[in-house]
Amino acid sequence: MRCFNYISETMSQDEIIHFQNVKLRETIHWAWAQNGFFRKRYTEAGLLRLHDFCNAGDLIHIPFTNKSDFRDTYPLGMCCVDRHLLREMHMSSGSTGTAVVMAYTSSDIEQWAECMARCYVMAGAAEGNVVQITPSFGLFNGGFGMYHGAQSAGLFVVPAGSGNTERQIKLAKDFGTKILCGVVSYAVRIYEVMTTLGLELPDLKIGIFGAESFSEGMRQRIESQLGIEAFDIYGMTETGGVGTLGMDCVAHNGIHVWEDHYYIEIIDPVTSKNLPDGEQGELVITSLSRQAIPVIRFRTGDLTRVVSREKCDCGRTHTRIAKIAGRTDDMLIIKGVNFFPQQVESALMEIPGVLPQYQIVIEETDGVRDVRINVEADESVTGYMIEKHLKERLGFSPKGDIFKQGELPRQEDGKAKRVIYKINE
Ligand code: DLL
């Protein structure tokens, strides 16, 4: 078994717990000492003396943080170091348009690179392999994170950035790209452009994709289309970017969270109470080694569950969580039925002949919501087939239209917009 950091990736759960307790204390104390935002929060919650915080069991006394805290303190109100120690920043605007900023010291960049390098090696990357990075190199954390990690893992980077898909395919052929990285929908786009233009498939081996809804059905489609093994990489601006929260391994049975860098909790999104392993809830993260902007009990909004804390077949010991099932703020309620966009994706990918381009259109007329599911499919697929399958899977049968390949809008840059809201006046 090859690891980027064998000792850290295979330490026993007892060692992990001990290590986490030490690092949790350090992080809580660090934030208290360095930034009034955290001090005020702790004090308001009744934590008057730092010595009251001893180990993970005391976390329940620490208040949660969330995206609004980042937005309210824009740009650097939660920063815990002197500004002259900052070396990089990234930012996500999210659907509301208000920015969430993450800033990095050089130690934070090293920590990010280490997490991302572990992901590359976990996927099978070896020194000198060519990695093509397709997210943009800009405020979005995807491009730079994949770059920092590739440098640490000793890979040869083709920093293609976003868009210009025809050139991406040529680069992959000319430079012998082995590892293709990007957002999920871009993997679909690359295959589509290849087939539309009749281009020959580059000899790719590994795909590392994330940043969006990524059903198992979609993962398998991408694998068979591009002839690669596809991995589900996870991370977010607030935790330090792509790869910080881990990836699935060759066993493809859950995402290994880098637990020596992040402490995870799963809570009931409504009651905020901690849930036992196995139950789906909202993922809450406390960073253990981030300097500039640590996250403390950060409510990610992402829904998942603990799959296993046992040693994995791959030899790694870090806890596995399930694929992200959706976001707490993504849940759609139509005519009394609750569902997540990813459930629609999973159901659609089960229908042979349905292509991986779809839209969930929420129409609201006089305050009443309805949904249409538009999807691209080949001629063998009928509207009845889709309605019947969605009824079986979701419990209701939304109407929608079938489009030919290439008819639904595409995005070459950033995350695909799958859910569209239309208010009819
Ligand atoms: O999307 C980081 C990233 C870049 C991950 C490239 C993977 C690949 P943000 O823009 O801050 O950062 O968005 C973070 O995207 O809270 C999830 O809701 C979603 N997300 C990220 N990875 C996955 C995934 C990047 N593998 C938000 N599966 C997160 C499902 C994901 N959702």
Distance between CA atoms of 330 and 367, rounded to whole angstroms?
18
Q: Do 82 and 224 belong together in one domain?
A: yes
Q: Mind listing the pLDDT tens digit for each residue in 187-210?
A: 999 999 999 999 998 999 999 999
Distance between CA atoms of 138 and 12, rounded to whole angstroms?
38
Q: Do 285 and 363 belong together in one domain?
A: no
Q: Do 318 and 363 belong together in one domain?
A: no
Total domains in the fold of the chain: 2
Give yes or no for residue 214 CB within 6 A of ligand 1.
Answer: yes
Q: Do 77 and 213 belong together in one domain?
A: yes
Probe residue for ligand 1, chosen from 137, 234, 264 as the CB with the greatest number of ligand atoms within 8 Å? 234
pLDDT value for 53 = 85
| Sign of the torsion formed by the C-alpha atoms of 157, 163, 167 and 170 | positive
Sequence-distant (≥ 6) Cβ neighbours of residue 191 within 8 angstroms: 222, 225, 226
419: which strand partners?
360
Q: What is the mean pLDDT of the chain?
A: 95
Q: Mind listing the pLDDT tens digit for each residue in 171-180?
A: 999 999 999 9
| Domain-ending residue, one of 267, 298, 328 | 328
Q: Do 166 and 65 belong together in one domain?
A: yes
pLDDT value for 269 = 97
Q: Do 125 and 105 belong together in one domain?
A: yes
Band of residue 94 on the pLDDT scale cut at 50, 70, 90: low
Probe residue for ligand 1, chosen from 91, 209, 302, 343 as the CB with the greatest number of ligand atoms within 8 Å? 302
pLDDT value for 201 = 87
**Average confidence (pLDDT) over 325-335:** 91
Give yes or no for residue 244 CB within 6 A of ligand 1.
Answer: no
pLDDT value for 362 = 93
Q: Do 192 and 300 belong together in one domain?
A: yes
Distance between CA atoms of 219 and 192, rounded to whole angstroms?
15
| Domain-ending residue, one of 328, 359, 376 | 328
Q: Mind listing the pLDDT tens digit for each residue in 243-275?
A: 999 999 999 999 999 999 999 999 999 999 999
Which residues span the domain enclosing 146? Answer: 1-328
Q: Do 38 and 137 belong together in one domain?
A: yes
Q: Mind listing the pLDDT tens digit for each residue in 50-60?
A: 778 889 999 99
pLDDT value for 95 = 58
Q: What CATH number is associated with residue 71?
A: 3.40.50.12780
Q: Please determine, for residue 73, whether its predicted confidence score (pLDDT) is greater than 90.
A: yes
User: Could you tell me the distance, in angstroms and rounded to a whole number, from the CA of residue 14 to the centre of ligand 1?
Assistant: 29
Instruction: Pick the more confident residue, 388 or 50.
Output: 388
Q: Do 82 and 63 belong together in one domain?
A: yes
User: Could you tell me the distance, in angstroms and rounded to a whole number, from the CA of residue 212 to the centre of ligand 1?
Assistant: 6
| Sign of the torsion formed by the C-alpha atoms of 138, 259, 234 and 272 | negative
Q: Mind listing the pLDDT tens digit for each residue in 13-63?
A: 999 999 999 999 999 999 999 999 999 998 888 887 777 888 999 999 999
* Percent of the chain residues past pLDDT 70, beyond the cut: 99
pLDDT value for 97 = 64
Q: Do 223 and 353 belong together in one domain?
A: no
| Domain-ending residue, one of 328, 347, 369 | 328
Q: What CATH number is associated with residue 410?
A: 3.30.300.30
pLDDT value for 98 = 78
pLDDT value for 397 = 85
**pTM here?**
0.96
Q: Mind listing the pLDDT tens digit for each residue in 107-126?
A: 999 999 999 999 999 999 99
Which residue lies with its CA nearest to atom 27 of ligand 1? 236
Whole-Å CA distances, 295 to 67, 71, 93, 135, 262:
11, 14, 18, 25, 9
User: Could you tell me the distance, in angstroms and rounded to a whole number, from the CA of residue 425 to the centre of ligand 1?
Assistant: 34
Q: Do 242 and 279 belong together in one domain?
A: yes
User: In this structure, are residues 305 and 323 in contact, taking their beta carbons and an 8 Å threshold?
Assistant: no
Give yes or no for residue 133 CB within 6 A of ligand 1.
Answer: no
Q: Do 233 and 149 belong together in one domain?
A: yes
Q: Please determine, for residue 96, whether its predicted confidence score (pLDDT) is greater than 70.
A: no
Distance between CA atoms of 269 and 263, rounded to whole angstroms?
18
Q: Mind listing the pLDDT tens digit for each residue in 276-304?
A: 999 999 999 999 999 999 999 999 999 99
